[in-house]
Structure 1
Amino acid sequence: MSQPPDPAKIAAQLIELRTEHRDLDEAIARLAASIEADELSVKRLKKRKLKIKDMISYLENQMIPDLDA
């Protein structure tokens, strides 16, 4: 049987991911505002930001108690 997730570890990961998500948002805005904006770099940052958002959602769902238990 698997061990239940540690809420403290998940909370710490969430803080870290939310910070990175916000930082990426700022970096994308700066890069997009730049005259010589590299489209590929912007796309990569947006893809990373979306992946982080998915990870945040997954971890938030891990924090919700299992109602079937």
Structure 2
Amino acid sequence: MNDDAPVISKEEAILQARLKLLRLEHADLSASIEALSEAAIPDQLMIARLKRKKLAIKDEIVKIEDQILPDIIA
């Protein structure tokens, strides 16, 4: 057995899996926004919607990261 491996709870494993999916979706939105921005006539409304969704995902990512690694005031 490897005693150096960190033991994570089922809840933390679920949070890490969710975090991975959110980061992937955030990256996909970034690519979509960039592609739409480079169009001859960019759809500003769609870009704004995607940016809002991207920001909401970023907020959720930060929230989950805080649950996994809470701030410890020393």
Identical pairs, percent: 41
| Superposition pairs of residues 25-64 of structure 1, within 5 angstroms | 25-64=30-69
- How far, CA to CA, are the matches of 1:66 and 1:24 in structure 2? 29
Task: Tell me the TM-score normalized by structure 2.
Answer: 0.79
Q: CA offsets per residue over residues 19-51 of structure 1, 9 Å max, x none?
A: 000000000000000012110000000000000
5+ long unaligned stretches in structure 2: 1-9
5+ long unaligned stretches in structure 1: none
User: Aligned AA for 1:15?
Assistant: K
The Cα RMSD (Å) is 1.9
Give aligned pairs, total.
64
Moved over 3 A (4+): 65-68
In structure 2, the CA distance between the partners of 1:36 and 1:62, relative to structure 1 (3 Å rule), is same
Larger radius of gyration: 2
- How far, CA to CA, are the matches of 1:6 and 1:66 in structure 2? 18
